[in-house]
A = this chain, B = another copy of it.
C-alpha cells in the first residue's frame, strides 16, 4: 500500500523523519475516515504508510497521539482558510453562510479529511469545543447586529454544528451535491430568526469559494539536523 496526501505533500522538502511522520498522518486520516476512530488500528496505519509497525511508535506515542495531532492540524488548516475567505465580510449572516459553504467545499475537496473530522468530532471534545467557539463568534455578532432574534447559547451552537455535520456527511456520501451547504445555511438562518426571504438570498448568493490549498505552512528550506553546539 502506498498512500500519499496533503501532509506528505507539505513535507516533501523536509527531512526523512518529517516525511515519514507526514506519511503516517496521511495514512491515519485515511484509516480514521474509512474505519472510524475506534476501529482503526496502528498496524493498519503503518501498513498504509508503507512503514514497519515499529516506526509508528518512533513518531507517535499511540493512536490517541496521532489522532490529536491530525485533527488539530486539519481543524486549524480549515479554520485558517475559512477565515481568510471571509476577511472582508462584515454582515454576520453572510459570514455564517460563507463559513459554512467554504467549510463544506474544503471537506468535499478532501473527503478523507472531512470524514476524519466527522468521525472524530464524537470522540474529541476538544475539537468540538474548538469548532463551537469558532462559530460562536459570528452567531453572537449576528445577535448584536440585530439579525438573529434567537438567543445564542451552547445548546443552539451544538444544534447548528450537528446540522452542518449532517449536511457534510450527506455531501460526502453523495446523497447531496454542492447545494447542501447553501441549503443548510438557509435552514440555520431561518432557525435563528433571520427573515426567510433574506435567508434564502444570503445562503444562495454566489460567492467565491476557494479550493483546497495544501501549501499551508511556511516550509523550512532545509531539513534540520541536530543543532551543532559551538562554545
A residues 169-202 near B (Cβ < 8 Å) are 170, 175-176, 180, 183-184, 187, 190-191, 193, 196
A155, A156, A165, A176 pick with most chain B CB within 10 angstroms: A155
Taking A38-B38, A39-B38 as contacts, is the C-beta distance between A170 and B158 under 8 angstroms? yes
Partner of A180, one of B39, B155, B180, B183: B155
With A39-B38, A190-B190, A193-B190 in contact, do A175 and B162 touch (Cβ < 8 Å)? Answer: no
Rounded to whole Å, the gap between the CB of A124 and the closest CB of chain B is 14
Tell me which residues across on chain B come within 8 A of A170, comparing CB atoms.
155, 158
Instruction: Please name all residues of chain B whose beta carbon is closer than 8 Å to the beta carbon of A180 when the two chains form the complex.
Output: 155
- Judge if A15 is at the interface, Cβ distance under 8 Å: no
Pair B166/A159 contact, Cβ less than 8 Å: yes
Alpha-carbon gap, A187 to B176, bound state (A)? 23
Return A175 CB to nearest CB of chain B, in Å.
7
A193 near B193 (CB under 8 angstroms)? no
Within 8 A of B (CB), among A1-45: 36, 38-39
Nearest Cβ distance between residue A198 and chain B, in whole angstroms?
Answer: 14
Distance (Å) between the CB of A168 and the closest chain B CB?
11
Residue pair A154, B175 in contact (C-beta under 8 Å): yes
Cα distance A170–B166 when bound, in Å?
16
The 5 lowest CB-CB distance pairs between A and B, nearest first, are: A162-B166, A38-B38, A191-B191, A38-B39, A162-B162
User: What is A's interface to B at a CB cutoff of 8 Å?
Assistant: 36, 38-39, 149, 154-156, 158-159, 161-163, 165-167, 170, 175-176, 180, 183-184, 187, 190-191, 193, 196
